[in-house]
Amino acid sequence: MSADTRTDSPPYLQEGGDFDRDMDYLPDRITRDARRPEHGPDAPTRPVEPGRYHLVAARACPWANRAIIVRRLLGLEDVLSLGLAGPVHDQRSWTFDLDEGGRDPVVGIERLQQAYLARDPDYPKGITVPAMVDIPSGQVVTNDFPWITHDLFHEWQDHHRPGAPDLWPADLRTEMESVMDRVFEDVNNGVYRCGFAGSQEAYDAAYDRLFAALDWLEERLTGQRYLMGDQLTEADVRLFTTLARFDAVYHGHFGCNRTKLTEMPVLWAYARDLFQTPGFGETIDFGQVKEHYYRVHTDLNPSGIVPRGPLVDGWLAPHGREVLGGKPLELD
C-alpha cells in the first residue's frame, strides 16, 4: 500500500485472507476559525492560517496525490506549502531524499516519522501520507486523507483562487457521496484487496468486485463527461488517482489483469481527459509510481526489479470527450 508503512504485515489480513485497511487516522481537523465542522468526525480543531501548515505528500501515493491535485485546483499554493517525500520508504517512514541534503526545506526533517513523534513520542501506528504538519511546532496535525481534501475545499474557501471549481456541489452531495463510497470500496481500495489478498478466495472476490465496479463506471461515463455530470468534482479526483496507476502497477503488480485501462474505451478516454486537465497530469510521475510499488512491496516483488513499461505516450492522445460538453477547468 502506498500511503502506509503498515501494509505488508499479515496482521492486516482478516480471517479468510481479505485485506483490511486500517482507517484509524489522526482525526484532527483544520477549519475556519477552528470551528466545529458540520460534517465528519467530532475531533479537535485548529484554525486555518496561511503559511502555518505544510502538506507532506508523495507523487507515488494515490491517497496523497488527491491532496496535491486539490491544492492545485483550488489555488492554495501560496498559503499551504507542499513537501514531497521520495517514492521509496522503509518500515520506519517516508523520507525526503528528493530534497537537498535529504531534509524537507520547510520543516527541516529527514523523515516524516519525526513530525509524528513530535506530536506523540509513543505514536504506535503507521507513518502515512498525506499529512498536514504544523510548521511552528513541527507536529503532524492530521493524516486523515479523505477529510484533508474535504476541508481544503470547505474550510479554506477564503483563500481559494478566483474561479476555483466547486468540488462539492451542495445539490449533488448525497449522490456524490454514494458514488465516492463505491469508488473507494471497490476501486481505490479494491486494487489493494486484489494485490494483498491472503487467499485465492479473497483475491477472486476482490477481482470480481473491482471489475464489476469498473464496468459500472464505464457505463456511467458513456453519456456524461464527469462522474457527477457536466461538472468536475472531488469524485473525479478520487477516481483519477487510481486510474492513472492502473496499467503501470495495478494490472500486473496487483493482479488486476482482466483488462487494462487502455482496453476500457470510455474509462481510458475519461482518464486522458482528466490527465490533460490542468492540475491533474502534471502531478503524475510514472517513474516514481513504479519505483514505489515494485521496490517497497518486497513480498509481492522480491527481486525489486522495476518494469520499464508500459509506454505512457497515449496519455496525451486526443480523448474526444469534448462532445459531451461539461465545464473543463482553466488554471492560471
Q: Which residues contact 72 (CB under 8 A, 6 or more apart)?
A: 278, 279, 282, 283, 331
Give the three-state DSSP class for 106: coil
Q: Which of 12, 61, 203, 226 is catalytic?
A: 61
User: Is 53 considered catalytic here?
Assistant: no
Note whether 85 and 129 are within 8 A (CB).
yes
Output the CA angle 65-299-57, nearest 5 degrees. Answer: 15
Amino acid at 13: L
Q: What is the dihedral of CA 71, 72, 77, 82, to 10 degrees?
A: 60
Note whether 142 and 28 are within 8 A (CB).
yes
CA 150 to chain centre: 13
Q: Which of 192, 203, 226, 294 is catalytic?
A: 192
Note whether 290 and 71 are within 8 A (CB).
no
Which letter does DSSP use for residue 137 in this model?
Answer: T
**What is d(CA 136, CA 52) in angstroms, rounded to the nearest whole number?**
7
94 marked as binding residue: yes
Q: Counting beta carbons within 10 angstroms of the beta carbon of residue 71, is it exposed (0 to 12), middle (13 to 18) or buried (19 or more)?
A: buried
Q: Which residues contact 79 (CB under 8 A, 6 or more apart)?
A: 50, 51, 156, 159
User: Is 226 considered catalytic here?
Assistant: no
**Residue 87 in grid coordinates:** 517514492
Of 271, 293, 292, 266, the C-alpha closest to 281 is 271
**What is d(CA 96, CA 193) in angstroms, rounded to the nearest whole number?**
29
Q: Where is the binding site for glutathione, in residues?
A: 94
* Residues catalogued as catalytic: 61, 192
Binding site membership: which residues? 94
